[in-house]
C-alpha cells in the first residue's frame, strides 16, 4: 500500500516487520532446500564460510523457532545430501561440508548454545530496528518523508542478516582471544611449575651431596689440622737460640 504523494508506507509495527522478515527467510529456506549436493557443498564452503557458518541456523537453513523434530529432520536430509559417500567425485570438500552441518546440528542440540545463537539473532534484529527508529526520528526532525530503505522487507532481511553475521563474527573473535589468553596463561603457569620443580630437585640434590660428603670434609679438615700441628712442633724443635759472642777483655 502506498502513502499519500506516492511514498510507500512503512510496516505498521516492528512486529509486522519481524513477521515479514521471517516470511522472507522461510521462502529462501524453501528455495535453497532443493539445492543439489554440489550447490550445498559450494554454499557451505563459499569464501568467508568460516564466519557465515558461525550461525548454526544459517548452516542448516532452518528457522530459529523450529522444533527439535524439524531440526533432526533437516539435519538428516542435509547431511545425506553433502555426505562424502554421496559425493565421491569430490570427497574432500564434501567431508568439510558434512563437518560444518554436523557441528551446527550438535551445537543446536545443546539448549544453552541454542539459546545463545537465538539471542545473537534477536540482538541483530533489535539493533536494526533501533537504527531504523533513529533514522526516522532524524528524518522527521528534518521535515523529510519518514521512510528508510529497511522498511522494505527484503532490505530489512539483508540488514538483519549482515548485522547478525557481524555479531557472530565478533563473538568468535573474542572467543579466540580468550582462548589464546588462557592458553598463554596455562603455558606460563606450566613453565613456572616446571621451573619450581627443577629448583626443588636441584636443592634436594645439593642437600644430598652436602650430607654425603660431610664426613669426608670433616676428616679432611682434621687431617689438615693434625698435619699443621705436627709441622709446627717439628719446626719448634729445630729452633736454637743464637750464640752469644763473648767479648774479649784486655
Flag whether pLDDT at 82 surpasses 90: yes
Distances (CA, A) of 26 to 16, 29, 65, 174, 196: 15, 5, 11, 31, 60
pLDDT for 35 equals 85
pLDDT for 96 equals 96
Average pLDDT over residues 66-92: 95
pTM, two decimal places: 0.61
Comparing 92-96, 119-123, 180-184, 240-244, the range with the smallest average pLDDT is 240-244
Flag whether pLDDT at 9 surpasses 50: no
Place of cell 504523494: 5
- 81 burial (CB, 10 Å; 0-12 / 13-18 / 19+) is buried
Residue 60 CB contacts under 8 Å (≥ 6 apart), including other chains: 71, 74, 75, 78, 101, 104, 105, 108
**Do residues 55 and 168 touch, judged by C-beta distance below 8 A?**
yes
Amino acid at each position: 500500500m502506498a502513502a499519500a504523494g506516492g511514498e510507500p508506507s512503512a510496516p505498521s509495527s516492528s512486529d509486522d516487520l519481524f513477521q515479514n522478515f521471517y516470511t522472507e527467510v522461510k521462502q529462501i529456506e524453501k528455495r535453497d532446500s532443493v539445492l543439489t549436493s554440489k550447490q550445498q557443498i559450494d554454499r557451505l564452503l563459499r569464501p568467508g564460510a568460516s564466519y557465515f557458518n558461525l550461525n548454526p541456523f544459517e548452516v542448516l537453513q532452518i528457522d530459529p523457532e523450529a522444533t527439535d523434530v524439524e531440526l533432526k529432520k533437516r539435519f538428516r536430509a542435509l547431511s545425506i545430501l553433502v555426505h562424502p559417500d554421496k559425493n565421491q567425485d569430490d570427497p574432500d570438500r564434501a567431508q568439510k561440508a558434512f563437518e560444518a552441518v554436523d557441528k551446527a546440528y550438535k551445537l543446536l542440540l545443546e539448549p544453552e548454545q541454542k539459546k545463545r545463537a537465538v539471542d545473537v539473532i534477536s540482538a541483530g534484529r533489535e539493533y536494526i530496528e533501533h537504527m531504523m527508529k533513529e533514522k526516522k526520528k532524524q528524518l522527521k526532525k528534518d521535515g523529510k518523508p519518514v521512510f528508510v530503505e529497511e522498511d522494505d522487507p527484503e532490505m530489512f532481511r539483508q540488514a538483519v542478516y549482515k548485522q547478525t553475521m557481524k555479531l557472530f563474527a565478533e563473538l568468535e573473535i573474542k572467543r579466540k582471544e580468550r582462548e589464546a589468553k588462557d592458553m598463554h596463561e596455562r603455558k606460563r603457569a606450566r613453565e613456572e611449575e616446571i621451573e619450581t620443580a627443577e629448583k626443588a630437585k636441584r636443592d634436594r640434590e645439593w642437600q644430598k651431596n652436602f650430607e654425603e660428603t660431610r664426613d669426608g670434609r670433616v676428616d679432611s679438615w682434621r687431617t689438615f689440622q693434625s698435619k699443621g700441628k705436627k709441622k709446627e712442633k717439628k719446626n719448634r724443635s729445630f729452633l736454637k737460640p743464637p750464640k752469644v759472642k763473648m767479648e774479649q777483655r784486655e
